[in-house]
Amino acid sequence: MNLTNIKQPFTEIFPGDFSGNPMQRMTPKVLFSTVAPVEFKSPKLIIFNEKLSEEIGLEGYEEKDLGFLVGNHLPDNIKPYSTAYAGHQFGNWAGQLGDGRAIYAGEIESPS
């Protein structure tokens, strides 16, 4: 896969916590925190959308790409991050919540 077109404008524009601290904590006045994905011991590819990969400029899948897709091996241009969010829980304003549910690698601007 061609990973050079993965950009991270979100982390360049907005304030963030670059400590890499994985512990639960408040992170006031930031919109994201850098995080390290948990390593998978024996990842296996189940399905890959070849057509979409080519459409967004990733140029297909090779076996060596599995490490990137599961977060085990990240190129130097990618610093994974999770975004902060806030909302209501059980009818009450919960304030700032964490985001362990998703880790972003970045964004791709496709030519199409």
Q: Where are the domains of the chain?
A: 6-108
- Asked if 86 and 96 count as a contact pair (C-beta separation under 8 A), the reply is yes
pLDDT for res 95: 75
User: Rounded to two decimals, what is the model's pTM?
Assistant: 0.79
State both tokens at 109: 């601007």
User: Residue-wise pLDDT tens for the chain (112 aa)?
Assistant: 888 889 999 999 999 999 988 887 888 899 999 988 889 999 999 999 999 998 888 888 888 899 999 999 998 889 999 888 778 888 888 877 765 668 899 998 876 6
71: left (phi over 0), alpha (psi -120 to 50) or beta: left
φ, ψ dihedrals at 10, nearest 5°: -60, -45
